[in-house]
């Protein structure tokens, strides 16, 4: 099982003795640790065995196979050597299950580590050029007068982030607001069952800024208790994006395997969002302590918020909760079933506890009162906002912020 707990990631092998140095140098969360390059490793004097361990564990983490990390590392083999082993050897030497062997040797599965390193390198170099052309205003207090667009998303194959980014046609200086679904909703059961209607209006900014939320978890760091001892008092959501843009991932149910896969996929890009100055929040509409403990930090290492009034979810539904019955929304919906199969391939655990009919989605809020930059609705169970799309919107937010900084110079 993939996890964002750094203790679970480094295990009890050769990396454990290096933990104090990793923390001292700021490598204190799993997404960041996974994008270490050779220069980073050399700077803290890693041995070749430790470098191999990082490679093995990053590869396994991307594929949800961390249960084999200690055994594979203890073999003393490098990742290429392990991948050259036969299925019979992997089964006999490491007790690897047949389905897991297929996932382990499948090189086409998304390995984000090298993509993150490439994008982070571009982000670092782009920070040197702060005096480029100033983009136009992004939004005005969530007004719906801005243009909208539908960005074609890919759901048949897991293309690389770089390829997806080059295919996005977002004009410089603008972030186009709009509702985007990763798959359209179509009639089910030969047209006998119609999908529920979806509002085509972006939520008004006023519907979000006064939402009362409560922090259930902090951002994960090593040594923290599974949950904060004392519940924090409720606060206005607008306080969270007052100084920095923020992403709010609204989860239908934290025990759902599709929600867990969505959260894990998004949070694994945390180094990119950090470089773009964007915060990450997950939002739940039910408070079930056991479910939050199972969800955080295994699948999401960031802050988890409790939306008692379900106001984020009502905003996604145009003022009312966007709901659908399990039978018609899942069992009769081929797109939802395909989403489930995609999530099931991660090997993540799941349960069926809690309210599962209220659909979620995602918001990207600009800092201060610049408004809603992006809104995504879970139209079919298991739809998720394409990460490349989210990254590109956040890139435009960063450009706007840099432009405003130039304007404010004396």
User: Positive or negative CA dihedral for 337, 268, 274, 244?
Assistant: positive
Residue 192 appears among annotated catalytic residues: no
Asked if residue 344 lies in contact with residue 327, where contact means CB atoms within 8 angstroms, the answer is no
Active-site position among 190, 192, 259, 394: 259
Give dist(CA 245, CA 220) in Å, integer: 20
For this structure, is 259 an active site residue?
Answer: yes
Rounded alpha-carbon distances, angstroms, from residue 407 to 114, 132, 138, 399: 36, 12, 15, 13
Of residues 222, 211, 218, the one with CA closest to residue 232: 218
How far apart are alpha carbons 244 and 223 in whole angstroms? 27
Rg of the Cα trace of the chain? Answer: 22
SS3 content of the chain, % helix, strand, coil (to 5): 40, 10, 50
Closest CA to 369 of 237, 281, 250: 237
Q: Which of 190, 250, 256, 394 is catalytic?
A: 256
Report CA-CA distances (Å) from 43 to 18, 165, 357.
Answer: 13, 32, 50
- Residues whose CB falls within 8 Å of the CB of residue 137, separated by 6 or more in sequence, listed in order: 370, 400
CB atoms within 10 A of CB 298: 21
Altogether, the residues listed in the chain come to a count of: 410
User: Can you tell me whether residue 398 is helix, strand or coil?
Assistant: helix
Structure tokens at 115: 């993509």
What is the spatial distance between Cα 70 and Cα 76, in angstroms, rounded to a whole number?
11
Catalytic residues: 256, 259
């Amino acid at each position: 099982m993939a996890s964002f707990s750094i203790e679970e990631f480094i295990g009890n092998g050769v990396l454990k003795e290096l933990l104090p140095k990793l923390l001292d140098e700021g490598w204190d969360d799993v997404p960041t640790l996974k994008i270490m390059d050779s220069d980073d490793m050399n700077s803290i004097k890693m041995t070749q065995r430790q470098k191999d361990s990082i490679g093995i564990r990053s590869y396994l983490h991307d594929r949800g196979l961390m249960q084999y990390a200690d055994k594979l590392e203890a073999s003393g083999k490098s990742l290429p050597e392990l991948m050259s082993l036969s299925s019979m050897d992997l089964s006999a030497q490491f007790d690897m299950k047949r389905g897991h062997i297929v996932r382990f040797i499948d090189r086409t599965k998304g390995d984000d580590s090298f993509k993150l390193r490439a994008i982070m390198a571009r982000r670092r170099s782009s920070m040197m050029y702060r005096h480029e052309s100033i983009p136009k205003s992004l939004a005005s207090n969530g007004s719906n007068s801005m243009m909208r667009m539908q960005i074609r998303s890919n759901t048949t194959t897991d293309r690389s982030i770089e390829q997806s980014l080059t295919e996005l046609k977002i004009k410089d200086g603008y972030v186009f607001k709009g509702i985007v679904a990763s798959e359209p909703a179509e009639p089910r059961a030969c047209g006998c069952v119609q999908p529920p209607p979806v509002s085509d209006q972006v939520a008004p900014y006023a519907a979000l800024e006064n939402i009362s939320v409560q922090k259930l978890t902090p951002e994960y760091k090593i040594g923290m208790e599974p949950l904060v001892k004392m519940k924090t008092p409720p606060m206005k959501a607008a306080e969270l994006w007052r100084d920095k843009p923020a992403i709010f991932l609204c989860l239908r149910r934290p025990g759902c395997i599709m929600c867990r896969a969505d959260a894990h996929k998004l949070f694994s890009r945390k180094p990119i969002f950090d470089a773009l100055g964007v915060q990450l929040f997950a939002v739940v509409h039910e408070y079930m302590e056991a479910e939050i403990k199972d969800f955080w930090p295994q699948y999401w290492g960031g802050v988890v918020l409790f939306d008692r009034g379900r106001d984020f979810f009502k905003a996604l539904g145009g003022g009312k909760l966007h709901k659908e019955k399990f039978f018609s929304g899942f069992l009769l919906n081929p797109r939802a079933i395909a989403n489930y199969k995609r999530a099931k391939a991660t090997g993540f655990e799941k349960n069926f506890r809690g309210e599962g009919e209220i659909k979620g989605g995602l918001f990207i809020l600009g800092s201060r009162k610049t408004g809603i930059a992006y809104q995504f609705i879970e139209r079919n169970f298991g739809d998720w906002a394409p990460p490349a799309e989210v990254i590109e919107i956040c890139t435009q937010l960063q450009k706007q912020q840099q432009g405003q900084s130039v304007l404010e110079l004396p």
